[in-house]
Amino acid sequence: MSTENHQSAGAWAKKYHFAARSVIEATLRPYDLGSTQWYVLWHLVHDGPMAQRNLQIVLQIEKPTLSGVVSTLVRKGFVAQTSDPQDQRQKLLSITPAGQALWKALPDPIALILETAFAGVPKEDLSTVVRVLSNGVERLNSLFQKGKKP
């Protein structure tokens, strides 16, 4: 791989991802939570109860991964998992009172990342970064949706 590739937008996006993930993990570690657990709680707090399969789509993770995360949150008492009255095979998730209390006590790792990483960066520059990366993600995702292989 050339030196140029190590300085590409993709390389920096990957480095940003790893750095941000480290901040998330360090922020949540004292609360015995992982990043995916935090995102599950975030969605249940902000979007309300939802079907587990919908959460899988939103989080873009595999079914077994989400099942493990949800099982852990249920075991910890932060999330309730019930059967959907319309379809007993489907699971509905909601945040419990203990989950609400935890949520209120948690620092927001995403806010910390944004405040730290982008302090003083003009909004126009951030808009450009978002536009470029979101277009790149859309193009890469459509590459596989159209059946193309790299």
Return all residues near 112 (Cβ < 8 A) that are at least 6 apart: 23, 27
- In the chain, beta strands by DSSP E: 50-51, 79-83, 91-95
100 neighbors 106 (Cβ within 8 angstroms): no
pTM (2 d.p.): 0.83
| Cα–Cα nearest to 79, from 91, 65, 95 | 95
- Show the tokens assigned to 4: 């140029």
Residues spanned by the domain of 88: 3-115
Specify the DSSP class assigned to residue 119: T
pLDDT digits (tens, 9 = 90+) for 29-38: 999 999 999 9
141 inside domain: no
Rounded CA-CA distance 130/132 in Å is 6
Give the other-Cβ count within 10 Å of 131's Cβ.
10
In a domain, 138, yes or no: no
- Decide if 92 is inside a domain: yes
Position 124 in a domain: no
Average pLDDT, the chain: 91
Cα 100 from Cα 44, distance rounded (Å)? 10
Bridge partners of 93?
Answer: 50, 81
122 falls within a domain: no
Residue 98 belongs to some domain of the structure: yes
Number of domains in the chain: 1
Residue 136 lies in a domain: no
Answer whether residue 140 is part of any domain.
Answer: no
Question: Rounded CA gap, 109 and 20, in Å?
Answer: 9
Considering only CA atoms, which of 40, 80, 33 is closest in space to residue 61?
40
pLDDT digits (tens, 9 = 90+) for 89-144: 889 999 999 999 999 999 999 999 999 999 999 999 999 999 999 999 899 888 87
Give the domain CATH number at 36: 1.10.10.10
